Chains A and B, each alone.
Chain A
Amino acid sequence: MVHSGSQTTRRAAIVGAALLFSASAIAGALAAEPVTLHAIFLPATWGTVVKDTLAPQYERETGVKIDVQLIGRDAIHEKMATLFAAEDSSFDIFNLDYNWIPEFAGGGHLVQMDDVLSTEDKADFFPLALRVASYGGKLYGVPQTVHPHLLWYRSDIYNDPATKEAYKAASGHDLAPPKTMDEWLEQSKFLNGRTYGGQKVAAWAAQAAKGYGNVHTWYSFFSTYGGKAFNDDFTKSTIDTPDGVAATKVWAEMSKLMPVGAVSYTYDDVTTAAQQGVVATAMQWSWGAFAVDDPKTSRTVGKWEFAQVPSVKAGEPSHPHLAEWVISVSKYSKQAAEAKKFVAWLETKKNDVVQASLGGGDPVRLSSYSDPKLTEEKLAGTDVKRFRRYSEVIIAMKNASPRPLFEGEERWETTITTPLQAVQLGQSTPEEGVKAADKAEDAALQR
């Protein structure tokens, strides 16, 4: 049966109209789909501030939803490696510990972020903060928070007249925040076991647990004594040097003056010890001060003051270990451009101050350290400044020592933690310990 031309034309017009209608409906539906970015942040204060406050604010301002998951440090590291190995685009944005930048940027998994910050912006960031977030001269993460090691000391103990008198009588020196490692060791031996407010105190606390804990604490001593962990091309471990041995000796000696059970101390345990007032000093990340000034959980609100990690010789700077968290974008993200916009927004001048004021870590921009919103804020009901540590953070950021910036850094920490703990527990001498650390790391490099 032959159809007439008009019938064919009518059928074609109906089909064409139906197709056009369907296409525009689909396009309309897609266009209406809101953009959602998926991000992983550390469940530290800077992660919760993003999840609870800044991400919802960004959504209100731009309509772009940010789905933030808070995951522990080790879990972030594992998740990034497995997602990147599968070239998985489930997550767009990651919060990284800066020592992972060489590993993941070197593996080609991160998007370059140089265009996220203007030249003016870059000049406002701590130079060291940008350097450690870079690999091969390119920026792969925007710094979110910096926290170098500081020496924390109890102002109530150091200003106690009876303690000052007793110390002077015992040592011939005035009790003041120690400037050198020798002073700190002498003060620690004196303060260890004394009682204040009915509480016996240990000399100090710091992270000491097996894993990155004891390595991070040891590293402040190691760097301050001039130690260098590797040769220039990271093919040979160079911990076993006179500087390395000297640093490890002092660290081992100081480790004996920590509270019972401190060999298992994580960051949280050090914080608890400081909050409970069971230590006279501590070596801890600068941002940890938020916790000890929290009246809900701390017995030592306003009693902690901050100074530089002691140096080797008076008048010389120390080289405290640097900690920093950055924000990176996955190369496999299907919304990299939107992700970069969010990261840029998070680290504007305004939001750097907002994050700090909400307790989200120490700022990464120099200008934030003179913002009156932060510098004039006082602890509720006291005359004690909330951000009294900032002058010390600025100094520390000039001299801080970053971890060895190479692709195997996380593995390096896992490798040397065991021989270092043997030194902590007196099963090896410092000389044996640094030798064993070099041997273990050289074997790992060969693999």
Chain B
Amino acid sequence: MSSTTIPKARRGSGSPLNRVIRRYGWLVPMIPGMAFLIAISVYPTLYSLNASFYRWNLAASARRSLTGFRNYELLLSDPSFWHSVVVTLVYVAFVVALELTIGLVLALLFFRRFPSDHFLRALLILPMVVAPVVVGLLWRYMLNPRFGIVSYLMSLVGLPRVDFLGDPALALPTLIVIDVWQWTPFTFLILLAALQGVPEDVIEAARIDGARSMRILFDHILPMIRYPVAVALVLRLLDAFRVYDIIYMTTRGGPIDATQTLSWQIYDLGFKSFDIGYAAAYSWLMLILVVAISTVALAILFRKTDFA
């Protein structure tokens, strides 16, 4: 009997090309995606970092000059930069806190079925589907002190007409209200989905043990939906930092500098004044701020004890 068994292929056998293909071939399908990501994300980011080291007016690019960290030095000693940081932090803190809180309250209200809940839910999420630019325009007209519906309703109950968007003390709170009106439905949907994933038996067991609703909420439900809360928080945080459309359609950073956020300043400097280098430095400082705050927020949410 002749032995004609085919020898098993040994690892490492075959031509060098085959060995390379076997080892790294799984990367090939990723190349188009990576190239796209590099082209639209990595390259522009590095380009902006490079631009931040230049004195560069877009209308006179041929005359740009390398100035090192000068833009950053000027920024850090510019009072209007720090003012923008404060305005942005106040805006972000309030919109995120309000949207999460109101979103949670609404999610708890809709947690159990009730008549017309689907219809009401659909109504609730309508603001979210409207483009931010349209939202800004809508509110600008609604808040117009001469012919806006808000002023009209106020006058019906004897209140004076108020220029919400033209009063430095009221403009930022008004923008916060507009943002909360538009984006609370977003957190509501995330938290409602999270609540619906909480096991009923956990709640039942707590109830049998005599726990009241608030105790059940804080001791059982909230810890179980911490991860979706973190997702909602980070997404809204990042979005709130980027606020621009509403400001463009309503206050343009005013009145005076009451709504002059970081993103508005970057637009003003980059696209009105064409001061590309300074605007790029602004962007990088804003990025550092956003990353720092997001990191702290997530660290607080996911404390060491979670992984003990």
Taken residue by residue from 45 to 88, chain A's Cβ proximity to chain B (1 for < 8 Å, 0 otherwise) reads as: 00000000000000000000000000000100110111011000
In the complex, B273 has a CB within 8 A of chain A: yes
Interface of B is mostly: loop
In the complex, A5 has a CB within 8 A of chain B: no
Q: Pick the most buried of B78, B145, B146, B260: most chain A CB atoms within 10 A of its CB.
A: B146
In the complex, A103 has a CB within 8 A of chain B: yes
Residues of A within 8 A of B260 (CB): 418
In the complex, A128 has a CB within 8 A of chain B: no
Interface of A is mostly: helix
Say whether A81 contacts B59, CB under 8 Å: yes
CA distance A323 to B259 in the complex (A): 29
Say whether A209 contacts B60, CB under 8 Å: no
In the complex, A366 has a CB within 8 A of chain B: no
**Closest residue on chain A to residue B148 by CB atoms:** A261
In the complex, A32 has a CB within 8 A of chain B: no
Residues of B within 8 A of A443 (CB): 78
Say whether A411 contacts B60, CB under 8 Å: no
Task: Looking at the assembled complex, report how far the CB atom of B137 sits from the nearest CB atom of chain A, in whole angstroms.
Answer: 13
Given known contacts A80-B59, A260-B145, A447-B275, what 4 new A-B pairs fall within 8 Å (CB)?
A74-B272, A263-B255, A414-B272, A447-B71
**Count, chain B residues at interface, CB 8 A:** 34
Say whether A427 contacts B59, CB under 8 Å: no
Task: Looking at the assembled complex, report how far the CB atom of A108 sits from the nearest CB atom of chain B, in whole angstroms.
Answer: 7
**Closest residue on chain A to residue B70 by CB atoms:** A447
Say whether A108 contacts B62, CB under 8 Å: yes
Taken residue by residue from 57 to 92, chain B's Cβ proximity to chain A (1 for < 8 Å, 0 otherwise) reads as: 111111000000001001000101000000000000
Taken residue by residue from 206 to 217, chain A's Cβ proximity to chain B (1 for < 8 Å, 0 otherwise) reads as: 000111000000
Say whether B256 contacts A78, CB under 8 Å: no
Taken residue by residue from 83 to 117, chain A's Cβ proximity to chain B (1 for < 8 Å, 0 otherwise) reads as: 01100000000000000000110111100000000
The 6 closest A-B pairs by CB, nearest first: A210-B254, A411-B273, A261-B145, A263-B166, A107-B60, A107-B59
Task: Looking at the assembled complex, report how far the CB atom of B253 sits from the nearest CB atom of chain A, in whole angstroms.
Answer: 6
In the complex, A264 has a CB within 8 A of chain B: yes
Given contacts A261-B166, A414-B273, contact A209 B252 (CB under 8 A): yes
**Closest residue on chain A to residue B268 by CB atoms:** A414
CB < 8 Å: which of B74, B78, B144, B272 contacts A261?
B144
Residues of A within 8 A of B58 (CB): 81-82, 85
In the complex, A182 has a CB within 8 A of chain B: no
Q: Pick the most buried of B57, B61, B255, B256: most chain A CB atoms within 10 A of its CB.
A: B256
